């Protein structure tokens, strides 16, 4: 993910609970690393266990992805990116309302 892409995505991500003062412990890997790993997996069609050593260990990447998938955050991020792209093109936002605050 380029720095320009990350600048757009970073503001659309939810704030981790520990950072917002809601408890929990800091995550071991930053969201950018995890999103890069998932994007690599999808782009190259590899299996989780074939994740290159440049990325965090595959069980951690899978746990991150599964947590976001199961809580609806992956779909929400997709919807937010789509909305931002539509606004950038001068079109209206999609009608779906987000369940979480941006």
Q: Is 7 a residue whose pLDDT tops 70?
A: yes
Answer whether 73's CB lies under 8 Å from 66's CB: no
Rounded to an integer, what distance in angstroms lies between the CA atom of residue 26 and that of residue 47?
27
CA 50, chain centre distance (Å): 21
Of 39 and 13, the one with more pLDDT: 39
| SS3 of residue 52 by DSSP | coil
Give the C-alpha separation, 66 to 73, whole Å.
10
Supply the mean pLDDT for the chain.
Answer: 82
Highest-confidence segment of 11-15, 29-33, 44-48, 68-72: 44-48
- Which DSSP category does 11 fall into? T
């Amino acid at each position: 993910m380029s720095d320009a892409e990350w600048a757009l995505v970073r503001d659309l991500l939810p704030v981790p609970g520990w950072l917002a003062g809601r408890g929990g412990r800091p995550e071991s890997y930053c969201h950018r690393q995890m999103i890069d790993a998932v994007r690599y997996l999808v782009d190259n069609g590899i299996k989780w266990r074939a994740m290159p050593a440049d990325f965090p260990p595959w069980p951690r990447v899978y746990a991150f992805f599964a947590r976001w998938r199961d809580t609806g955050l992956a779909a929400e991020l997709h919807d937010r990116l789509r909305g931002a792209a539509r606004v950038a093109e001068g079109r209206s936002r999609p009608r779906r309302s987000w369940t979480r605050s941006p």
